[in-house]
Amino acid sequence: MNKFDYMERHGFEQVIYFHDKTTGLKGITVIHDTTLGPALGGTRLWNYACEDDAVLDCLRLARGMTFKNAAAGLNLGGGKTVLIGDASTVKSEAYFRALGRYVQSLNGRYITAEDVNTTTKDMDYILMETDYVVGLEDKSGNPSPITALGAFHGIRASLKHRFNDDDISKYTFAVQGVGETGSALIGYLKEANAKKIYFSEINPKNIKKMQELHPDCEMVTPDAIYSLEVDVFVPCALGAVMNEKTIPELKCAIVAGTANNVLEDEERDGLLLKDRGILYAPDFVINAGGVINVYHELHGYNRERVIKDVRKIYDRLLEIFKIAEKENVHNQKAALVYATNRMKTIAAIRSNYIIR
């Protein structure tokens, strides 16, 4: 892979490699775009097969954060850190403090948070060395319930757009995956008296928890979840679950959930869903509750303000659905248009000089 070509093609600002010889910490930070503010994105720890895989993953994830943060109305750019290593052996206080020192050396251009294989406890070690870390245990805490709340409002917006009625009690749902976000989302749907909820899950512990907590929700096999006759398919497990195989099976009117990278191929599957008349709520817009939650740590964390901000996902999605109709594009593309428009508009208003 020619990295400079890739950076130029997708507008990346900076790629930083770091290695700490005492702890063996080895990683990459990518700053994609800081038009709206400092780049924010989590630290992912993964045993990548090779260095190029790690760099490409970091580049793609950082770019994704630019659009997610822009669409969420946050004054943040997009960035990401990946650490190359085996999560079961490399972690220690020194390892994360060494990372904190690299983050600090970027002087606020990049703010980190937790991601796959890193926890709020690890963030506390990073905090010992830098001011530029969010997602702390005693501040915003576990993001999953807030992500689920955002998806709940996103589902309501999708129902409003599709049926002109967002009363959850009139509709049926198929939830794929009842882990952290899926189970919390089912809680919100039940509170709003959802007519019927089906779910699928592969982890016996989570199945048992679900059956104890919500015995009226009906479990189906992981394969059967796609073809259920429901109003909303709610992906809360893996990425790439909407693809050439699964989209033809769907009998729902809406796909809206918490999962990341739901479309296996954004262009192909965005169009497939549009052509089938199925309303897709773009993943990076509907699941932004978590990043909205950590963002508020930068301005003095206040849970009520977070909840108010997360509720805005409802209007934001309605606006994106309108763009898609007006421009005759699929919804994922409309979400990118929405995010890019915000970046262009805000960059333009900063063209005049003011003293602040």
Q: Are 153 and 161 a contacting pair, CB within 8 Å?
A: no
Is 69 one of the binding residues for ligand NAD (CB under 6 A)?
Answer: no
DSSP codes of every residue in 227-277: G---SEEEE-S-S--BSTTTGGG---SEE--S-SS-BSSHHHHHHHHHHTT
Q: Are 285 and 157 a contacting pair, CB within 8 Å?
A: no
Is 238 one of the binding residues for ligand NAD (CB under 6 A)?
Answer: yes
Pairing mode, strands 218-219 and 196-200: parallel
Smallest Cα–Cα separation from 59: which of 12, 112, 109, 108?
A: 12
- Sequence letter at residue 309: D
Among 258, 269, 274, 279, binds ligand NAD (CB under 6 A): 258
Rounded Cα–Cα distance for residues 147 and 144 (Å): 5
Catalytic, 80? Answer yes
Residue number with CB closer to ligand NAD (183 or 331) = 183
Is 150 one of the binding residues for ligand NAD (CB under 6 A)?
Answer: no
Would you state the structure tokens that stand for residue 37, as one six-digit string? Answer: 């503010």
Is 154 one of the binding residues for ligand NAD (CB under 6 A)?
Answer: no
Is 237 one of the binding residues for ligand NAD (CB under 6 A)?
Answer: yes
Rounded Cα–Cα distance for residues 97 and 76 (Å): 24
Is 332 one of the binding residues for ligand NAD (CB under 6 A)?
Answer: no
Contact region for ligand NAD (CB under 6 A) — 117-125, 165-173, 234-242, 311-319? Answer: 234-242
Residue number with CB closer to ligand NAD (23 or 81) = 81
- What residues form DSSP beta bridges with 14? 31
Is 147 one of the binding residues for ligand NAD (CB under 6 A)?
Answer: yes
Smallest Cα–Cα separation from 81: which of 322, 101, 11?
A: 101
Among 206, 211, 227, 340, binds ligand NAD (CB under 6 A): 206
Among 37, 135, 143, 282, binds ligand NAD (CB under 6 A): 143
Question: Which one is catalytic: 3, 68, 80, 205?
Answer: 80
Among 121, 222, 224, 325, binds ligand NAD (CB under 6 A): 222
Among 177, 232, 281, 343, binds ligand NAD (CB under 6 A): 177
Query: Interface residues with ligand NAD (CB under 6 A)?
Result: 143-144, 147, 176-182, 200-203, 206, 222, 236-239, 258-260, 287, 290
Q: Would you name the residues annotated as active-site residues?
A: 80
